[in-house]
Amino acid sequence: MLTNDDTAWFQAFRESHWSWAPFIRASLKGKRPQDLQRLAGDILVYHNHIFVSARQLVEAVIREAKIPHSSFDSCHEYGCALAIHQLCERLSPADARAVLVASGYYGRDLEEMAKRSEAALKDPGRELWEMYGNWD
């Protein structure tokens, strides 16, 4: 016989599976990345013994990572991407994909992001020039 906790878990498990349907349909139809990102955020993923929306998990990971806001977008973005990828190492492959798509880092090259971040720190003038351009 199932306990109340078992029943609640199976209910959440079922809801998690149903939450994938809109994302899968949109993926098969070739929807825009922005649409897929929004739909992936609604997927319920299993993390720390509970089901939580991928969007909430992404927001929590970035908030809790305490990534210092840099004057350079590339440094901050790389820190966020790294935190998300570290989280994804602890998730199932499907849930990791949902989180990566929801975060906007799916298919992004971490090595390239690291190079841009490092370059921004080595040559801040160039980074500022690229961010703000020529005002002449």
What are the residue ranges of helices labelled H in the chain? 4-19, 21-29, 33-41, 54-64, 73-88, 93-103, 110-122, 124-132
* Per-residue pLDDT at 126: 59
- Residue range 24-49: mean pLDDT, rounded: 95
Q: Residue 91 has what pLDDT?
A: 97
Q: Tell me the percentage of the chain whose pLDDT exceeds 70.
A: 86
* Tens-place pLDDT, residues 49-62: 999 999 999 999 98
Q: How confident is the model at residue 68 (pLDDT cuts 50, 70, 90)?
A: low
Please identify which residue in the block is written with the tokens 């029943």.
7
What average pLDDT does the chain have? 87
- For 85-95, the pLDDT digits (tens) are 999 999 999 99
The pTM score is: 0.82
Exposed, middle or buried: residue 22 (CB in 10 Å: 0-12, 13-18, 19+)?
A: middle
Contacts of 82 (CB under 8 A, 6+ apart): 110
Contacts of 100 (CB under 8 A, 6+ apart): 84, 85, 88, 106, 107
**Identity (one letter) of the amino acid at 37?**
Q
Q: Calculate mean pLDDT across residues 23-43.
A: 96
Q: Cβ contacts of residue 46 below 8 Å, gap of 6+?
A: 16, 91, 92, 95
Q: Tell me which residue of 56, 48, 27 sits closest to 91, measured CA to CA.
A: 48
Measured between its terminal Cα atoms, the distance across the chain in Å is 76
| pLDDT score at 118 | 82
- Average pLDDT, stretch 34-38? 95
